[in-house]
Amino acid sequence: MSEPNPVGNNFSQRISKRFRGFLPVVVDVETGGLNSATDALLQIAAVVLRMDEHGRLYPAATHTCHVKPFEGANIEPKALELNGIDPDHPLRMALPEDEALKKIFRPIRQEVRQTGCNRAVLIGHNSFFDLGFLNAAVERCGIKRNPFHPFTSFDTATLAGLAYGQTVLAKALVASGEQWDGKAAHSAIYDAEKTADLFCGIVNRWDANIGIPEPF
């Protein structure tokens, strides 16, 4: 993804004021089922958002990792049919959960520091699902420095319902004027990047037509 404005410019730190000290990071996970306590986390993608000199949000960088199922994890065949993941494929280059989370968290922590934010906030489409799996993995791995707020999140299904009258990701994107490729869907990278496009579009449209909240 393009990065027209590197972190370090003064305007890059304005994002810390836009969301009350939170750094918005879009997350999508692919899993072996719907139960975060018992089902495997198989892939995670995180898109860091930045703010340009005009105060507009844009997707800046995507970080992703395939994840090895934790010991005893349940994997539902129907889930694999949906996401197309073969957990045993030799080219997946999956990492154990703790290593995968550290790989994803490292650049997010760095972005939090460089933008003057206090913490990252998870953005997702039906964000409770992604946050639930993320928190469950963090707990299993005993990670103490989770950059994400443990329960606050921004849900693009809710925001898209307000902005466009659509709650399904594909329909919301089309309503917003964005493209959607059904064949590429259910990849954590594709879904995270399209969710980032949706979120940025909603926020930028709000700021342009309603106004940026004070203080900013």
Q: Is 186 annotated among the ligand-binding residues? A: yes
Evaluate whether 153 touches 121 at the Cβ level (below 8 Å).
Answer: yes
Tell me if 54 is assigned to a ligand binding site: no
Q: Is the peptide bond before 150 cis (omega within 30 degrees of 0)?
A: no
List the one residue out of 130, 123, 143 whose CA is nearest residue 200.
123
Question: Does 63 participate in catalysis according to the annotation?
Answer: no
C-alpha 140/C-alpha 144 separation (Å) is: 11
> Which strand (E) or helix (H) includes residue 29?
strand 22-31
- Cα R_g (the chain), whole angstroms: 17
Residue 99 annotated as binding?
no
Helix H segments across the chain?
15-18, 77-83, 97-115, 127-141, 156-164, 169-176, 188-209
Give the integer Cα–Cα distance in Å for 139 and 47. Answer: 22
CA distance 43 to 133: 11
| Residue 30 annotated as lining a ligand binding site | yes
Smallest Cα–Cα separation from 15: which of 106, 148, 127, 120?
120
Q: Which residues contact 86 (CB under 8 A, 6 or more apart)?
A: 80, 92
Write out the catalytic residue numbers.
186
Q: Annotated binding site, which residues? A: 28, 30, 186, 191
Q: Annotated binding site for Mg(2+), which residues? A: 28, 30, 186, 191
